[in-house]
Amino acid sequence: EAPATIRSVSLSERSYLAAGERLSTEMLLDVSYGYEVDGVLHEGRRASFDDRAEPHDRRLRALYSRLNFALVTGRSVPAFYDPDAPGEAVLDIQFDWRRLGLGFGGGLAVSGGLVGLWLVLSPFRGRRPAVSR
């Protein structure tokens, strides 16, 4: 983690043709920031693991507001960088599990798998070695 100074930030909407010639819209977060690692200055362009979202997405709007506030006030924000590649960084490391597309059916499958694993392993929990007297 290193303190980063926001140089610019914007949130815009983009329309594009999706599969089946359907017009879709998405938000794009564009940011530029500087940070220093071991005396070397780096410039970052990624705000999060996914800087695109549906137009109603609150996560991206909240991140934009936080970064814009830092830009206006001159406050630094933490940049989380890869120690093996310090030029690669993001400002927000939260992961939106809903983006995995599990939905109800996928969540039910994961829950069923965990219960099944518990049932398979549960007979081994109660076994204890015999104690000789």
Alpha-carbon span 7 to 5, nearest angstrom:
6
The dihedral built from the CA positions of residue 49, 51, 54 and 56, taken in this order, carries a sign that is positive
Summarised one tens digit per residue, pLDDT across range 46-70 is: 999 888 888 888 999 999 999 999 9
With 80 as the cut, is the pLDDT of residue 9 above it? yes
Summarised one tens digit per residue, pLDDT across range 92-114 is: 988 655 555 555 556 667 677 77
* End-to-end CA separation in angstroms for the chain: 58
With 60 as the cut, is the pLDDT of residue 77 above it? yes
Mean pLDDT of 1-15: 94
Alpha-carbon span 84 to 33, nearest angstrom:
20
Q: What is the residue type of 73?
A: T
